[in-house]
Chain A
Amino acid sequence: MNTIELKTDTPIKIAILAMGGQGGGVLADWIVEMAEAAGWWAQTTSVPGVAQRTGATIYYLELLPEAAANAAGRPPVLAMMPTPGDVDLVVAAELMEAGRAMQRGLVTPERTTLITSSHRSYAVGEKAALGNGIGDPNKVIDAGREAARRLMCFDLQAMAEQAGSVISASLFGAIAGSGALPFAREAFEDTVRHGGKGVEASLRAFALGFDAAAKAPASPAPIDTARPAPVLAERAAAAEVQALLDLIRADFPVAAHGMLGAGIARLIDYQDVAYANEYLTRCAAFRALDARHGGEATDWALTCAAAHRIAVAMSYDDVIRVADLKTRASRFERVRGEVGAKPGQLVYTTEYMHPRLEEICGTLPAGLGRWLENSAGFGGFVKRHIEKGRRVQSGTLRWFLALYLVSGMRRFRRSLLRHQVESAQIQSWLERATRLAGANDYALAVEVLHCRKIVKGYSGTHDRGDKRFAALMKAADELAGRPGGAATLARLREAAQADEAGHALDAQLGQLMRPQTQTPVMSRVAA
């Protein structure tokens, strides 16, 4: 047998991870076209299948100079799929897809340039959570710093949008700017031009991606996921509002200033200055309590929790509020911006409303509302004739005036049934927190205040929140005086937001109510 002489040329190996519809295929085709035009062999493969429908998919390319094939006297044999640890360039069209590439082992510290867009396209599991289900993006960047030879991470989606193009164009630019492929910028741009569709916009997006990559730092900065802390305004135009600001500055610890400022802003907007004043009075009670029970050591956790949760509770979402928010000029402007309306175009909005007996009675004077709510005849009439979906065209005079009138009922709000119901709930909730704090159960009192966060939404969603809140308050009473009570209540609160049907909460409550059950057992269930 003849000795086999092995050639040393190896192809450049590229993996592109994208979600269906992101144009991963376009990007792969561009690279192939560019490489072929420059006299290279190029092969691309993919497994689109059902992944095209919103799933994640991968495109794989190998490039080899044609001169090498000519020298070898035979065409190259290129692989159909990436091998973990054997990829030179990994391109991810979304941040979590970069994470997936690392999980698949495609990124390796000796070899791989990893270019990823930092933007997020949330998966259904993240979006469907009852609270906040979004994954921590910095875990991907942390892993990328370790796993890749070079990590580049910037918002290529925003660049594409800025240029009026799509992400495949800015990604292509980033690949060019990274220098990971042996082709000149002109070769990339000629390929885009040759495509012939939306060339100018694509080239703009390409240029943005190119510059970002060319100037990319050796290691990308972490993504700032912190929510900006609210800042207390220095001055207010109205004297009565200024008085509130002064009161906050004089009587409250600095830690709570921002939240209190946000609170009074919300409540003035919601009702009036007097209402905000009422809010500060409630908060002041907790501030005094806090001072007596070591608030200084906990950075005024009780005061801060009160400042946050009482403001939200007092600005409960009622029909008046919704009508108010829907009819504001600022809202009309925001909608125009969001739908990208151009000057000269008209925009009309249609609201989807579904008034129920509870909402109608809630918007009546307390006595009348309660009487009608209990009246079988009226209830039946409403259910038959009024309780149905309403398409409210808020840009037409008829509907706008109707909504405007409803929003004008703000001035009577304090006398309406809904207000009475909400106030009673708030009262009993705050009394419970006050009682616990007074009984040296400071942490539990803080947690009781935070529990209010699960009361939100409208109609059925609101009712569900109400019921679970009541269950949590009952549990709080049980937990009073027990060691680790606050931590247990926090876990219960998380469980209350774990699933729509409430299975997690029921399971945990079941554990809690069992006699002699200690908290360590609960923590195992929680884990």
Chain B
Amino acid sequence: MAERSFKKEVEQLRIPAGEEFRGEGILAITKALLQSGVGYVGGYQGSPISHLMDVLADANEILDELDVHFETSASEATAAAMLAASVMYPVRGAVTWKSTVGTNVASDALANLASGGVTGGALVIIGEDYGEGSSIMQERSHAFAMKSQMWLLDPRPNLESIVKSVEDGFELSEASNTPVMLQVRIRSCHVHGRFITKENKRPAFTLKQAMEHPVRDTGRIVLPPASFAHEHEKIQQRWPAAVRFIRERKLNEVFEGDVEDIGLILQGGLYNGVIRALQLLGLADAFGNSRIPMYVMNVTYPVIDEEVTDFCRDKRAVLLLEEGQPDYIEQNLHAILRKAGITAHLSGKDVLPMAGEYTTAAMRDGIEAFFKTQAPALLATHDAVAADEVAAAVQAARPAAVPITFHPRVKDLAGVVPARPAGFCVGCPERPIFAAMKLTEQDLGEHHVSCDIGCHLFSILPPFNLGATTMGYGLGAASSSAFNVKSSKRSISVMGDGGFWHNGLTSGIANAVFNKHDGVIVIVDNFYSSATGGQDIPSSRADNPNRATKNPIEAAIKGAGVKWVRTIDRTYDVSRMRDTLEEALTTTQTGPKVIIAQSECMLNKQRRVKPLFAKAVKAGERAVKERFGVDPDVCTGDHACIRLSGCPSLSVKDSGDPLKEDPVAHVDSGCVGCGNCGEVAEAAVLCPSFYRADIIHNPTGLDRFMGRLRGAVIGFLQRRRAARLARTAL
């Protein structure tokens, strides 16, 4: 596993029943799975749910005790297919991934699962990567729930509600023979909160039992005629069963207010923001007491018609707060109200943004606009009774009427506050690959570069500005497949080792071999699935007792039929990297040219190596630390090195020389001595300012002898020169 330990988190999974758990949302979900008697868990890591996978990967002992099988799936499709275990057997299974991207990958298996239906509870925990902090396209997972008929939970963002919805989710799934999706937003995954724990439960029915007593029923398999029957079953049996369960168990919540003819309907996940928005308008407090009645949909699919009509019947107007687009729920509510002949006015995206994250400010503005037309008196109350203690507090809680952003000095900041694009970490082994590609560009001109998902995608940002498209995880090579015609230039595709094992081996490499693609494919092999937190993958070099690692990418590629393969086992060798790229772009050999660029992810390497180094030094062993530096008097302040690197530890500082007004390059103490700056300066023939310093800790007798010898000669010459300079110095 990644060289990061989740021991502390694992301990939290052992908190005895009845005690308080305090921690992160995603960890609470992990605990809730164990409390629900889950039989197996799978998934694919990715923000914001990586922690669920990381913690379980370190929690072998607990999982073994509880008879829970945990697996790091090869992809989301694998994870979704894993839920097949719950089709015939009453065993609960949960899988997790980043959504919507992961759900896209999983949707084939999910659709098949949802068609045949499940016996044991099947829960899909999706980290909805939407809004600020998201790294993917802005879409809703809601559509997947609708198209395959899976139920979608969107609980209020406090740990108690989230944990309860895991338990409810399994039961709902079993009661309606339907897989259930539990949606958690980015901030909910990372929220620190508390809940009272229950006992961890062993699964009532285990995988072992299932394997020893296999059951089959062709009626559950998606093949005619059963597939036709499934559709009817969904509507005639599973839907009504789900509605019954949701109503009986009161999964959705109604909070009463004292304003009778107005109401809010909202997705559970928006609840805290809506309460704050109301608070800012003087209509709620910090404990969720609201003057406006609310119908909170902790289940956002299906919409429960009777609950909606009950809530709206006596109201003059209701406002729906539904984040993202299309406005599926709003359309649904309109239909429900019209069919029921309810005249209450329904507002939604007419006053709220059609697209984009529903921030507190956006919701406050929308609610205010709604009240202005539907109940203006509500907005006036607190100003009118300003003497009242409540109103005063409300006033204090209100943000400034005129935002400070309009102040000329604040507006002025636009010229100085710099953008901070995400980039490669200090010492990242992917940096030299793109520096080399940049140099190749200087020699052979620009090429079409197809990118992939992973840290290497930062190549599209400054300072490298390389890459034209990214079509999805592992699809770097696939997205070059059209560029397979005679041309004076070849296409370049980039793919990470994570994407390679996720699907790139088949979708990219095998496809290129089969279709005789003539392009260049660079596989970035940094020993981990780094962008998602450094998890192990089949080609990882780590000794992992629970996984089979060290399966070389090169062997897989050759197996797929690639003839031209070059493996570079040290990406920091920029000249070699450049020469290999140039060879790949110019060779007369046909078929795909694959370069495997290998060096360990520096973030993980440092986590691994740093303690070992410190230990060796402490034990008195000879140890050499490398660091880079710039001679400020040699550097002329052109910063060409930075334009080919962007390393966070390569910065600038004042030269200290009155004759040199531009800042000079400077390597700060964050340097890990990867060597990229020196290699680039050399390969690009930039300048001799860089140096590598080898610091020898605990020098041996020989070291010290050589040091004294060298010091004597060098010192003598240096003193001679210094004396000459000192004589005429100012």
From A124, A139, A317, A457, residue with most partner B Cβ within 10 Å: A124
Q: Is B648 an interface residue (CB 8 A)?
A: yes
A43 touches B191 (CB 8 A): yes
A127 touches B256 (CB 8 A): no
A219 to chain B, nearest CB (A): 14
Which residues of B have CB within 8 Å of A136?
A: 416
Q: Is A222 an interface residue (CB 8 A)?
A: no
A457 touches B636 (CB 8 A): yes
B572 to chain A, nearest CB (A): 12
Q: Is A443 an interface residue (CB 8 A)?
A: no
Contact digits for A10-50, partner B, Cβ 8 Å, 1 yes 0 no: 11000000011100000001001000100000111111111
Sort chain A's interface into a size bin. Answer: 35 or more
Which B residue's beta carbon lies closest to that of A58?
A: B132
From A110, A136, A354, residue with most partner B Cβ within 10 Å: A354
- Bound: A81/B186 CA distance, A: 11
**Contact stretch, chosen from A183-191, A339-347, A370-378, A426-434:** A339-347
B429 to chain A, nearest CB (A): 14
A-B contact pairs, 10 of them (CB 8 A): A44-B192, A50-B47, A53-B424, A77-B287, A80-B188, A108-B404, A110-B400, A122-B652, A237-B726, A326-B688
B661 to chain A, nearest CB (A): 7
Which residues of A have CB within 8 Å of B284?
A: 6
A-B interface, 5 closest residue pairs, ranked by CB to CB distance from nearest: A47-B133, A85-B399, A123-B418, A135-B416, A389-B682
- Bound: A311/B657 CA distance, A: 12
Q: Is A509 an interface residue (CB 8 A)?
A: no
B659 touches A329 (CB 8 A): no
Which residues of B have CB within 8 Å of A135?
A: 415-418
Which B residue's beta carbon lies closest to that of A57?
A: B133
Contact digits for B274-295, partner A, Cβ 8 Å, 1 yes 0 no: 0110011000111111110000
Which residues of B have CB within 8 Å of A83?
A: 276, 280, 359-361, 364, 399
Which B residue's beta carbon lies closest to that of A351?
A: B691
Contact digits for B629-655, partner A, Cβ 8 Å, 1 yes 0 no: 101011011111011001010111010
Which residues of A have CB within 8 Å of B694?
A: 347-350
- Bound: A73/B134 CA distance, A: 36
Which residues of B have CB within 8 Å of A269?
A: 725, 729
Say which residue of B399, B639, B685 sits within 8 Å of A354 (CB atoms): B685
Q: For residues 648 through 705 of chain B, which have their beta carbon under 8 Å from a beta carbon of chain A?
A: 648, 650-652, 654, 657-663, 669, 678-679, 681-688, 690-697, 699, 703-704
Q: Known contacts being A77-B272, A143-B410, A326-B631, is A85 close to B730, with CB within 8 Å?
A: no
B699 touches A345 (CB 8 A): yes
Q: Known contacts being A49-B133, A80-B157, is A262 close to B685, with CB within 8 Å?
A: no
Which residues of A have CB within 8 Å of B364?
A: 83
Known contacts A322-B688, A350-B678, A458-B687; 11 additional CB pairs below 8 A are A11-B286, A46-B190, A80-B273, A84-B399, A124-B462, A127-B639, A140-B416, A147-B409, A233-B730, A241-B730, A354-B682
B634 touches A322 (CB 8 A): yes
Say which residue of B631, B658, B686 sits within 8 Å of A227 (CB atoms): B658
Which residues of B have CB within 8 Å of A7?
A: 285-287, 289
- Bound: A82/B359 CA distance, A: 9
Q: Is B380 an interface residue (CB 8 A)?
A: no
A352 touches B407 (CB 8 A): no
Q: Is B473 an interface residue (CB 8 A)?
A: no
A335 touches B730 (CB 8 A): no
Q: For residues 306 through 335 of chain A, which have their beta carbon under 8 Å from a beta carbon of chain B?
A: 308, 311-312, 317, 322, 325-332, 335
Which residues of A have CB within 8 Å of B187?
A: 45-47, 80-81
Which residues of A have CB within 8 Å of B418?
A: 96, 122-123, 125-126, 135
Which residues of B have CB within 8 Å of A268?
A: 728-730
Which residues of B have CB within 8 Å of A396?
A: 710
A227 touches B654 (CB 8 A): yes
Which residues of A have CB within 8 Å of B185?
A: 80
Say which residue of B186, B392, B657 sits within 8 Å of A49 (CB atoms): B186
Q: Known contacts being A139-B409, A139-B416, A147-B409, is A130 close to B639, with CB within 8 Å?
A: yes
B396 touches A4 (CB 8 A): no
A498 to chain B, nearest CB (A): 13
Which residues of A have CB within 8 Å of B410?
A: 102-103, 143, 146-147
Say which residue of B133, B663, B710 sits within 8 Å of A48 (CB atoms): B133
Which residues of A have CB within 8 Å of B221?
A: none
B728 touches A241 (CB 8 A): yes
Which residues of B have CB within 8 Å of A8?
A: 285, 389-390, 392-393
- Bound: A11/B287 CA distance, A: 10
Which residues of A have CB within 8 Å of B387?
A: none
Q: Known contacts being A54-B423, A80-B187, is A1 close to B404, with CB within 8 Å?
A: no
- Bound: A354/B48 CA distance, A: 46
- Bound: A426/B133 CA distance, A: 54
From A86, A317, A347, residue with most partner B Cβ within 10 Å: A86
Q: Is B555 an interface residue (CB 8 A)?
A: no
- Bound: A338/B648 CA distance, A: 17
- Bound: A346/B701 CA distance, A: 12
Q: Is A173 an interface residue (CB 8 A)?
A: no
Which residues of A have CB within 8 Å of B170?
A: none
Which B residue's beta carbon lies closest to that of A407?
A: B721
Q: Is B271 an interface residue (CB 8 A)?
A: yes
A47 touches B186 (CB 8 A): yes
B648 touches A36 (CB 8 A): no
Q: Is A395 an interface residue (CB 8 A)?
A: yes
Q: Is A282 an interface residue (CB 8 A)?
A: no
Which residues of B have CB within 8 Å of A417?
A: none
Say which residue of A86, A311, A331, A401 sits within 8 Å of B397 (CB atoms): A86
Say which residue of A1, A352, A407 sits within 8 Å of B257 (CB atoms): A1
Contact digits for A136-161, partner B, Cβ 8 Å, 1 yes 0 no: 11011011001100000000000001
Which residues of B have CB within 8 Å of A453?
A: 661-662
A458 to chain B, nearest CB (A): 4
Which residues of B have CB within 8 Å of A339?
A: 627, 629, 693, 695
Which A residue's beta carbon lies closest to that of B632?
A: A334
Q: Known contacts being A46-B187, A48-B47, is A6 close to B421, with CB within 8 Å?
A: no
Which B residue's beta carbon lies closest to that of A349?
A: B691
Q: Known contacts being A125-B462, A335-B693, is A80 close to B399, with CB within 8 Å?
A: no
Q: Known contacts being A78-B272, A331-B631, is A264 close to B643, with CB within 8 Å?
A: no
A130 touches B693 (CB 8 A): no
B286 touches A77 (CB 8 A): yes
**Contact stretch, chosen from B9-17, B474-482, B712-720:** B712-720
Which residues of B have CB within 8 Å of A44?
A: 191-192
B405 touches A103 (CB 8 A): yes
Q: Is B331 an interface residue (CB 8 A)?
A: no
- Bound: A400/B257 CA distance, A: 84
Q: Is A477 an interface residue (CB 8 A)?
A: no
Q: Is A517 an interface residue (CB 8 A)?
A: no
Q: Is A439 an interface residue (CB 8 A)?
A: no
Q: Is B413 an interface residue (CB 8 A)?
A: yes
Q: Known contacts being A10-B397, A80-B187, A325-B633, is A49 close to B47, with CB within 8 Å?
A: yes
Q: Is A3 an interface residue (CB 8 A)?
A: yes
- Bound: A78/B157 CA distance, A: 9
Q: Is B458 an interface residue (CB 8 A)?
A: yes
Q: Is B326 an interface residue (CB 8 A)?
A: no
Q: Known contacts being A80-B273, A146-B407, A325-B634, is A312 close to B659, with CB within 8 Å?
A: yes
- Bound: A221/B497 CA distance, A: 51
A230 touches B658 (CB 8 A): yes
Q: Is A525 an interface residue (CB 8 A)?
A: no
Q: Is B59 an interface residue (CB 8 A)?
A: no
A84 touches B658 (CB 8 A): no
Q: Is B589 an interface residue (CB 8 A)?
A: no
Q: Is A456 an interface residue (CB 8 A)?
A: yes
Q: Is B616 an interface residue (CB 8 A)?
A: no
Q: Is A258 an interface residue (CB 8 A)?
A: yes
Which residues of B have CB within 8 Å of A161?
A: 669
A353 to chain B, nearest CB (A): 5
Contact digits for B134-156, partner A, Cβ 8 Å, 1 yes 0 no: 11000000000000000000000
